[in-house]
């Protein structure tokens, strides 16, 4: 059960306790708590595994520093965040509680086929400090069909759609997400105001149950470029 293994189904890992030895909730079917270090998913009888060496390769690029380069703020938004706005007398809550993962129920099991068996999860969040959006991308697992970040007025800040592999080679595994589309708006064309309430939506196919899925969204935000000094200097007269 490849999908069950990648989604960390607890029964396939024969796990009843988390990494710290605490019993799992009876309704916790799968996720990060069931496939921590040294756990192994079940394999078919008679399976003989070959020892493999795996590695990750990174490509790093850089540019020489220039005064026109601006620092960015990195925001990682989570659709499972339980952040809530407080009343106006106390302002905005600054405490976030990101659950990181969640479960998608099968529409066949629930008897509800919403929008063609699509599970839509939304959360409202506030950015303390806004600016110009420089980059955006979502993170989803198998079954994901896209994620969108909306502004307070309903405008689309960034929409990120997954690409699924269709082969066997590394980086193109059939049935798995091998990439997410990204947003690189022109600087200054997409702005977020300080304290603006954003809406993050994560969509998954619910044609079958999925466990341990994620709905993250990464954005890089920069302050507006400083305007060049346009003041005119009077010529200095001869003595």
- Complete domains list, the chain, with CATH: 1-63 (no CATH), 70-223 (2.60.120)
75-126 pLDDT tens trace: 999 999 987 766 555 555 567 778 899 999 998 866 665 567 999 999 999 8
pLDDT higher than threshold 90 for residue 184: yes
And the tokens for 177? 């997400």
Find the mean pLDDT for residues 146-169.
96
CA 149/CA 138 separation, integer angstroms: 9
Strands of the sheet containing 144-150, edge to edge, are 118-126, 197-205, 144-150, 156-160
Query: Can you tell me which residue has the tokens 């806004």?
Result: 130
3-state secondary structure of 76: strand
DSSP 32: G
- The DSSP code sequence of 124-188 is EEE-SS-EEEEEEEEE--TTEEEEEEE-TTS-EEEEE-EEEB-BSSTT-BBTSEEEE-EE-PPTT
What average pLDDT is seen over the chain?
A: 87
Least Cα distance to 39 among 82, 78, 77, 5 occurs for: 5
* 33-89 pLDDT tens trace: 999 998 989 888 888 878 888 888 899 999 898 888 888 999 999 999 987 766 555
């Amino acid at each position: 059960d490849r999908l069950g293994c990648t989604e960390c189904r607890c029964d396939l890992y024969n796990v009843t306790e988390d990494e710290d030895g605490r019993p799992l909730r009876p309704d916790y079917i799968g996720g990060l708590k069931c496939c921590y270090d040294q756990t192994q998913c079940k394999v078919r009888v008679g399976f003989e595994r070959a020892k493999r060496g795996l590695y990750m390769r990174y490509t790093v690029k850089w540019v020489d520093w220039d005064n026109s380069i601006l620092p960015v703020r990195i925001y990682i938004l989570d659709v499972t965040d339980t952040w809530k706005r407080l009343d106006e007398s106390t302002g905005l809550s600054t405490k976030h509680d990101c659950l990181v993962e969640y479960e998608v129920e099968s529409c066949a099991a629930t008897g509800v086929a919403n929008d063609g068996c699509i599970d839509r999860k939304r959360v409202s969040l506030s950015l303390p400090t806004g600016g110009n959006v420089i980059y955006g991308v979502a993170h989803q697992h198998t079954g994901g069909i896209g994620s969108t970040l909306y502004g307070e007025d309903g405008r689309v800040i960034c929409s990120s759609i997954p690409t699924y592999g269709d082969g066997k080679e590394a980086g193109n595994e059939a049935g798995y997400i091998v990439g997410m589309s990204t947003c690189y708006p022109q600087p200054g064309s997409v702005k977020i105001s300080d304290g603006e309430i954003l809406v993050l939506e994560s969509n998954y196919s619910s044609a079958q149950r999925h466990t341990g899925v994620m709905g993250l969204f990464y954005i890089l935000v920069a302050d507006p470029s400083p305007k060049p000094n346009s003041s005119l200097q009077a010529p200095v007269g001869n003595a």
